[in-house]
Structure 1
Amino acid sequence: MARRAVEQELSRDRIMDAARHLFITKGYRAISMRSIGQHLGYSHGSLYYHFKEKAELFYAIVVQDFNHVDLLFRQVISSPKVEGLTKVEQLMLEFIKFGMDHPHQYEIMFMLRDEEILSYCRAEQSKCFDVFSSIVKKYMREEDHPLANHTSVPLSMFLGLHGFISFYIQDHLTFEEIQPAAIAHVKMLSHSL
């Protein structure tokens, strides 16, 4: 009965949130299941009910974060057009907004460089970019953009967005604080093609 109470109280999401924070602040290698349990005020054994090992926990975090971005991309597709923005510009702004409003998630998804965990991120990064790329190409074709079939355009856009987020994320700013700069950056990326 006591184990069941702990299992109900200590949810996967709570473990993942704590682990995400610890992986960012202390580094993947410095964190153990024991230290995550201590951070949460539980024995590390209670974490094993949800995750077999640290790598499985890390991968669950990565997948959850990339699924969130995928959902945001799909919401842009189904949302009405915003006055003064193309769908591609809306997509780019949504990506910047995610990065700024979820800095810990963004850092785990795109900025951790630990060789031991990079393989967990690469496959998900590739899927994320493929979705982004297909949306960009679709709307560029619909807008009859002269570079619609150029394969390097989505990658250039994506890298431009990543650079923007990476620069501003260090200052712990919100999207609202950098929104004018984000709009200007997105417009520049869109119109420089």
Structure 2
Amino acid sequence: MPRKAVDQELSRERILEVARHLFVTKGYRAISMRSIGQQLGYSHGSLYYHFNDKAELFYAIAQEDFQRLGRLFEHVLNQSPSEGMSKLEQVMLEFIQFGLNHPHHYEIMFMTRDEELLAYAHAEQGRCMEMFYTIVRQSLSAHMMSEQDRHNIPRSLFLALHGFVSYYIQDQVTFEEVKPAATAHVRFLCRRAVEEAIQSA
């Protein structure tokens, strides 16, 4: 089949969507390019027009998902926060919303245990987390934090958000179902972060 025809019929985005679901629900090692092709209704050879192998396909998924979260952070930073919320609270709430409304994306990004796969996601994960850390530091810039707190506070906030998301992902709830709890969680975390920053000033 000519490459052009394949590209028109089977998009890269569709492959990523189906492969992401299969990797999360069945496990990376249990899934082959053939099984992904079967799920899509195409021969596995069609996938090779877009990806050289399964590892490249997984990396493309991780890269796309982290870029999506990065764009979300940038969008929030460029918009006025919701009434009664700080910019940092809004960013943290959007992170929770992203995780709960896109559980397969989130599991690929932050809950992968396979060491081989972690190697593919590590660089993208590091860039995403550094972006979050920078947002936290800028939000608390009015306080003269110690170098240790400049590292510890953003990390602690991220881990607290990750704990919230990973806990509720297990229950398969949507963000709207736990929005009041998420808002209270974020406000508590930000209040504690400011208190910690003030103490270290």
User: Shift of the alpha carbon at 1:7?
Assistant: 2.7
How many residues end up aligned between the 2 structures?
A: 191
Work out whether residues 88 and 135 of structure 1, in 8 Å CA contact, stay in contact via their aligned partners in 2: yes
Q: Within 5 A, what are the aligned runs for 1:100-139?
A: 100-139=100-139
- Could you tell me the percent identity over the aligned residues? 60
Match of 1:165 in 2: 165
Q: In structure 2, give the amino acid aligned to 1:159.
A: L
Q: In structure 1, give the amino acid aligned to 2:41.
A: G
User: Shift of the alpha carbon at 1:79?
Assistant: 0.4
Structure that is richer in helix per residue = 2
Match of 1:186 in 2: 186
User: Shift of the alpha carbon at 1:102?
Assistant: 0.3
Query: How large is the Cα RMSD of the aligned pairs?
Result: 1.4
Match of 2:72 in 1: 72
Cα-to-partner distance string for 1:144-190 (whole Å, 9 max, x where unaligned):
24648622110000000000000001111111101000001001111
Structure 2 unaligned segments of length 5 or more: list them.
Answer: 194-201
TM-score, normalization by structure 1? 0.95
2-structure distance, mates of 1:86, 1:52: 45
TM-score, normalization by structure 2? 0.91
Work out whether residues 38 and 44 of structure 1, in 8 Å CA contact, stay in contact via their aligned partners in 2: yes
Q: In structure 1, give the amino acid aligned to 2:118.
A: L
2-structure distance, mates of 1:174, 1:148: 38
Cα-to-partner distance string for 1:67-101 (whole Å, 9 max, x where unaligned):
00000000111001322111111110010000011
Structure 1 unaligned segments of length 5 or more: list them.
Answer: none
Match of 2:27 in 1: 27
2-structure distance, mates of 1:100, 1:33: 28
User: Shift of the alpha carbon at 1:8?
Assistant: 1.0
User: Shift of the alpha carbon at 1:3?
Assistant: 5.3
2-structure distance, mates of 1:188, 1:73: 20
User: Shift of the alpha carbon at 1:60?
Assistant: 0.4
Match of 1:92 in 2: 92
Q: Within 5 A, what are the aligned runs for 1:2-41?
A: 4-41=4-41
2-structure distance, mates of 1:114, 1:29: 9
* SS of the residue 1:83 aligns to: coil
Work out whether residues 80 and 87 of structure 2, in 8 Å CA contact, stay in contact via their aligned partners in 1: no
